[in-house]
Structure formats: structure tokens, C-alpha cells
Structure 1
Amino acid sequence: MTAEQEQRFDQLLARVRSWVEGPGESWAERIEETGEVPDELWAELNDLGFLSVTAPADYGGQGLGFTRWMELMEILSRCHGSIRMIVHVVNGIWRAMDGHATEEQRKRFVIPSVTGDIKIAFTLTEPGNGTGADIKSSVVREGDTYYLSGRKHLITFGVRCDYYLLAARVEGTTGHEGTVALLVPRDAPGLRVEDTSDTMGVRGTDHASLTFERTPVPVDHRLGAEGEGLDVFLGGFLTPSRISVAMSCVGLAQRAQQLALDHARSRVTFGKTLSQRQAIQFMLAENAADIEAARQLVLHAARRFEEGADDASMQSSMAKMHAVSMLTTVTDKALQIHGGVGYWRSQTIERVYRDARAQRFEEGTNEVQKAVVFRELLRFAEVQEGTVR
């Protein structure tokens, strides 16, 4: 970055931090009270430019590099989980589409998603299946139309979106073969939407279960060719998204740590503040080290992704796996430092604790991340052996 670009980034970082610590907290309280994220919050985030940080300038975005975006995500993640979810998804989903979009699709879907004119929901997960090559939702092509049948669930923004960026397969195919990425209109015939938003944490983010019964989708709503569907989802979205979720863990852990430190400094028992007790000091010191270690691993993964490195997928899963484990430990200690009072909903740590639990399965559980890391380790070993031989 040039000196001028650094200055602009510092100003953006300051604006984000000021909003998170001010209006963001007011929004957090309102979301917890109502259980909803109103459209006016989406509009405010869009007007502030927080939903178009990563997209290119000629798309209406700010063109910020991915690693620098992670520095902003670290701050935004200290806010309410639903707010973090909005900025995370919207700043990532354009990238998944853009790599496979035609120029007409770019104008029709990608750019409007950046400018906030349309909302697009990432639609991969199915009940009874995993989130990869075993997807069962299928399409049959008749002329210029696909007819889509199947089910999806746990779809974030699945109630309020305008389109679903949906993974399916051509009927009769298996594995990666025949997978397609489709942009399915929210109001398409044969689509039933069930609101399933009543979650433990990340309150206010709407989620949906979807059922498709020969839902017509124009063939020109397909991104890329048949057989490239999972490339849109796994490479175009999941790798950077896992890094972003990992940084979300860092930001939320920092929030929990600050709440615990503030409580320890003010809470007095037997004539001493908790911060004067060695057991508490050690817990907070361990938290600080764990957070910083996770942060550096996430930033390393972000740089590898931005460089287009061959190990970006492995690094993203490593970062997510480690950061989630760190967040679990840090928030548990932070709640423990609060004692019984931290269990009450009147305390911010109670919300942070609930929101943190969701990170353990967002973009794949730790078991999934370990499988990805091992697969990549094996691949690199085989490549090295081939080189040696």
C-alpha cells in the first residue's frame, strides 16, 4: 500500500471501530430484544460501505485486499453475531459468483449484490447429506429450463433473500460430475420456504429450510458449466469464508477477553479485585496468548489465499480449526471469571458465549477441517514423493 492508501485504510478502520463501539452496540441490544435484524440495519451497513469493502471499485466496491479485510473483520466481529454474519456473507458471496459469471450475469447478479440492490443466500447444505460432492438436490433440463427438486436447510438469509446461489446436480450424476451452481429466484414456483430462525445464538439472522418441487430455473441462471458447480462453492466461497470465520473467532474472543478483564478489575471479593488474584491473572494471560497465536495463523492463511498459494485451502482449514478451539477456551474462561452473574442475559458475556458456539459448525465443523487438512497433507506428500522419484 502507498502512504495515501494506508491513511485511507486507517480512517476506514477508525470508522468501523467507532461504529461497532457506538451504534453497533445499540443495534445489538435491539436485535436481542426483538430477535430480528430490521431492513433499516441492512440499509445502514450498506450506506456506511461496510457491505462492499472487498469488491472491485468498478463493481461499486472499495477494492480492499483480502488480508486487510480480515483486519476489519476482526473489529466487526466484536459486535453482534448477526451483524458480523451480514458483513461476512455479503463481502464474500460476490467473489464466488464472479469467477464463473458471464458479463451479462455479472451485471445482473454480481454487481447488484455488491451495491445492495439484491440479497443472495449461499445455498449448499442439505438435511441428510454433507455439504460437498454428496449433495442430492437435482435438476432435469428441458430446453432452456432446469427443473429443480430437492431440499436445503440451515440457509442463512434464506427468508429475506432475492436469490439463492444454490448447488445441485444434473439428475443421474455422482460426485463432482454434473454439479451445477444456479441462481434461483426467491419467488420461483414450486419453492416452499420454512422460517427456522429460532436459534441459540446469532439471534436475528434469518435461516430457512427450503423444498423445491420441479422449480423452474432458466439455464442462463447457471454459473459456469455443468460439472463446475462445486468449484463455485468450495473454491470460490468456502476457502476465504473459512478464513473470515476464523478471524471472526479472534474478534469475538477479544470481546470476551475485554469483558472478562473489565469485570476482573471491578469485581471485589474479600477485599481484593479479581484481577489481584493469581488464578484469574493466569486465565487472562493464557487467553491473551491464545488469541494472538490464532490471529497470526489467520493472517498467514489470508496472505496465502491472497497470493493464490497452493496450500490456501489447507491453511484456511487450519486457521478455522485452531481459532474455533481457541474461542471455545477463551469464552469459557471469560464466563467463568464473571461467575454466576455472567449466566444472566443482562450481561453481554452471556450473548457472546452463545454467539461463539455457532462458530464451531459455521463453514464446517472441526472434524471437517481436520479431514481437509489431512487430505492436503497427503496430497503434498505424494507430490513431493513424485518429485523425488
Structure 2
Amino acid sequence: MTAVSFTEESFSALKDEIDDWVRGPGEEYANTIEKTGSVPASLFGDLKSRGYFSLAAPEYLGGQGIPFDRYLELMEIFSRSHGSVRMLVHVINGTWRAMEPFATDEQRENIIKPSVAGDVLVAFTLTEATAGSGADIRSTVRREGDSYVLNGEKHLITFGVKCDYWLMAARIEGSTGKDGFVALLLPNTGLAGVEVVDDSETMGIRGTDHAILRFTDVRVPASARLGDEGDGLAVTLGGFLLPSRVSVAMSCVGLAERAQELAVEYANRRETFGKKIAERQAIQFMLAENYADIAAARALVLEAARAFQTGAANAGILSSASKMIAVDMITRVTDKALQVHGGQGYWKRNTIERVYRDARAPRFEEGTNEIQKQVVARSVLNGTAVY
């Protein structure tokens, strides 16, 4: 798809197009993924050909230049589909942000632009089995001439099996704090000393590959470094995780909307004792609470998105706060939506069962709520929180 400048008219048409895709081909893909446990190659190709991987990137990278806060309106729609669809669109539309400010011209041409085009897949590679909040990582590198020697282990790495590059976070041996943090673009090309374990059997977002990665004295050219030594924390946290938290929060909104839609449809169809359950006050209260919950979370997510878009000082705290609220919201909404379905909701033949499972993943994506609460509390206590 050729990149075009953002206009309200084109954006409105794009939203309608995505909604039609989600309700049509997207549902067919969802059923296939649930049956097979894997994402068909045709799905990736379909999303790529429609330009859905290049929505948020600027035009000079081959993207469509849609502002972040408006792009999230599209993420809201995608998130009503299968979790693997949402994951593909979310990750590929986000990793360029981490790389672009620190990339060399060669990295930009050979990795970032192809990533935006959907020709190269980059996996964000931070979390470890014994660490994961960022500065506590234990994977290390040591400099030997024109190379780094990498040791460590990563887990829960989305697309870590099939990706072309790992956007790797490590620290220089013996260092502490942010100054020793390094980001590397490591090719997934069978490097000596790399073990890739497929760890894709998950509760929800079936079909998305996840990896455990082990690195033993892996020699990496220094030219694979992204930015300077010490830039790694800015690459991983500011460049990717801050906006990604807001995107995950909006994915909660979109999936909650789908759960609510399913609950309303079922309530208007199901009868007990000669009466539609939609006429029963207990059901009405659940649906009313869901509506208010979704609307409140959506408003905060969009506020956080606008703060990031404009570079506001409170963008970081709003990013964490929006994810806190949205994650708690989707937990309540999907639970009530499943309850509206009664026993029927427990069976896999009903879409709400899949939605309920997919809704659990955001509770640990891009940092658990416990981490987000620490971030928010720190800002509140030191007086930097702005209301």
C-alpha cells in the first residue's frame, strides 16, 4: 500500500474498512487459528497487503503517518478480533519507534523500513525468567575487539521463534544502572551459541509464537548495537514500552467492547421462563456497569495517547495509569459478559470463551499492574504527577 497523508476523510474510510475486515475475514481467521493453534501465512500476507503493518510509522519510513492517538482508534477495532491479529498489528506498528531514534542509516534501510513494510519481523526481547521490569535484566555482553559476546536467557518473547531479528536488551558485564544498558539488533539466523525454544502453548492469543531464548558466548558484531552504550534503557523503555502500554490499554478497550457486544446479543436472544434475559434487572445492571467501565477506560487511554503524541511531561505516568485502569476494566467486563452467557459461555463453540481467555494476556504484557502502580506511585509521591 502506498503511504498517503493523513486526512479525516481517508481515516474514516480506513476505520470502516478495518471494521469490515475484522467482522468478515478476521472472524474466519480467528476460527482457523483456534482450530489449528497456529497463524496461517495467509493472515500475515493479508494484513501486509492491506497496509495494516505500516499505519503508525511516518511516511519517510514507508508508513502512512497516522498520528499515535488516532492510530489507537484503529487498534481499538483490531482488538475486537482474535488476539493473534491484535498482537501482529500492535507489535509491528510499534517496534520502529524503539529503533528509529538510534538507528544508523544502514539499520534504517535494512531493518526498520522493511519492518514497516512487513518484510522483516523484529521481536522485542527484554523479559527474563528472573527479571523483567527493565533495569534489573541479567543478560550480559562484554566487548572483545569489534564484537560483543552475549550471555543470558530471555523468555515470553513474542514472535521470538519466527522473527528475523531480536531487538535485544543486555547490560555490559559488571555494570549497574542505566549506563551499562545496551540494545542490539541480533539476526535470527542460526548463530552459534543460540538456543531457541518454542514456548507457544498459551491460555489465550493462540497462534502467536513465543520463545525462550538462551545465549551462550554468542559473538555479535559491534555494528549490531542500536545507539551508544548506555542508550539501551531509552530504546526499550521510552522508545517501545511507554507507547506500547497505551496501545495494550486500548486493546483492552477494544476486546471489552467485543465482549459487551456478544453479551448484548446473547441477552437479547436467550429466554428463561418465557422472558428474554435482557429484560431482567440483574442482566441490565451488568451491561450498564460494563458500558460505564469501558467508556471511562477509553477516555483515559485517549488522554494518555494524546500526551505521548504531544510529548507532554505526564505521558509516562498516564501510560502506566491507563494500562492499570484498562486491565482492571477488561477483567471485570469479560467476567460479566461470560456470566451473562451462563453455562454456554464456558464452551469453546461460543466466541465469548475465546475472548475471555485472550483478555488475560494484557495483565502481564508490557509490565504487570504491580509494576505500573509502582511507576504511578513514584510520580505521585515525588510531586511530578499532573492532574
* Alignment match, 1:373: 376
Query: Is contact 2:126–2:132 with CA below 8 Å preserved after alignment?
Result: no
* Alignment match, 2:292: 289
Matched, 1:9 2:8: no
Aligned match for 2:118, one of 116, 119, 123: 116
* Alignment match, 1:386: none
1:92-125 Cα deviation digits (max 9, x unpaired): 0001100111222211211111111211000000
Residue type of the partner of 1:110?
I
Q: How far apart, in 2, do the equivalents of 1:379 and 1:111 lie? A: 40
* Alignment match, 1:333: 336
Matches within 5 A, 1:198-213: 198-213=201-216
When normalised by structure 2's length, the TM-score is 0.97
Residue type of the partner of 2:62?
G
Q: How far apart, in 2, do the equivalents of 1:214 and 1:281 lie? A: 60
* Alignment match, 1:88: 90
Aligned match for 2:353, one of 336, 350, 362: 350
Query: Is contact 2:133–2:371 with CA below 8 Å preserved after alignment?
Result: no
Q: How far apart, in 2, do the equivalents of 1:381 and 1:102 lie? A: 34
Aligned match for 1:196, one of 196, 199, 209: 199
* Alignment match, 2:69: 67
User: Size of the alignment, in residue pairs?
Assistant: 381
List structure 1 segments (4+ residues) > 4 angstroms apart after TM superposition.
Answer: none
* Alignment match, 2:228: 225
* Alignment match, 1:147: 149
Matched, 1:251 2:254: yes
Q: How far apart, in 2, do the equivalents of 1:7 and 1:243 lie? A: 25
Q: How far apart, in 2, do the equivalents of 1:341 and 1:116 lie? A: 39
Q: How far apart, in 2, do the equivalents of 1:166 and 1:378 lie? A: 33
Q: How far apart, in 2, do the equivalents of 1:4 and 1:200 lie? A: 38
Q: How far apart, in 2, do the equivalents of 1:252 and 1:320 lie? A: 14
After TM superposition, give the deviation of residue 154 of structure 1 in Å. Answer: 0.3
1:173-192 Cα deviation digits (max 9, x unpaired): 01212110000111222100
Q: How far apart, in 1, do the equivalents of 2:310 and 2:60 lie? A: 22
Listed as ranges, the gaps of 5+ residues in structure 2 are none
Aligned match for 1:317, one of 281, 302, 320: 320
* Alignment match, 2:26: 24
Residue type of the partner of 1:81?
G
Aligned match for 1:78, one of 62, 77, 80: 80
Listed as ranges, the gaps of 5+ residues in structure 1 are 384-389
* Alignment match, 1:168: 170
Give the 3 Å change call, closer, same or farther, for CA 18–382 of structure 1 in structure 2.
Answer: closer
Structure 1 SS opposite 2:214: strand
* Alignment match, 1:44: 46
After TM superposition, give the deviation of residue 39 of structure 1 in Å. Answer: 2.1
Q: How far apart, in 2, do the equivalents of 1:129 and 1:71 lie? A: 33
- Name the % identity: 61
After TM superposition, give the deviation of residue 143 of structure 1 in Å. Answer: 1.1
Q: How far apart, in 1, do the equivalents of 2:141 and 2:40 lie? A: 34
Q: How far apart, in 1, do the equivalents of 2:49 and 2:347 lie? A: 35
Q: How far apart, in 1, do the equivalents of 2:233 and 2:357 lie? A: 31
After TM superposition, give the deviation of residue 366 of structure 1 in Å. Answer: 0.8
After TM superposition, give the deviation of residue 382 of structure 1 in Å. Answer: 9.8
Structure 2 SS opposite 1:380: coil
Residue type of the partner of 1:9?
F
Give the 3 Å change call, closer, same or farther, for CA 98–283 of structure 1 in structure 2.
Answer: same
* Alignment match, 1:127: 129
Q: How far apart, in 1, do the equivalents of 2:253 and 2:320 lie? A: 15
After TM superposition, give the deviation of residue 38 of structure 1 in Å. Answer: 2.0
After TM superposition, give the deviation of residue 379 of structure 1 in Å. Answer: 3.4
Query: Is contact 2:379–2:385 with CA below 8 Å preserved after alignment?
Result: no
When normalised by structure 1's length, the TM-score is 0.96
Residue type of the partner of 1:153?
H
Residue type of the partner of 1:355?
D
Residue type of the partner of 1:353?
Y
After TM superposition, give the deviation of residue 4 of structure 1 in Å. Answer: 8.0
* Alignment match, 1:300: 303
Task: Output the aligned Cα RMSD.
Answer: 1.3
Aligned match for 1:103, one of 102, 105, 109: 105
Q: How far apart, in 2, do the equivalents of 1:300 and 1:10 lie? A: 20
Query: Is contact 2:203–2:357 with CA below 8 Å preserved after alignment?
Result: yes
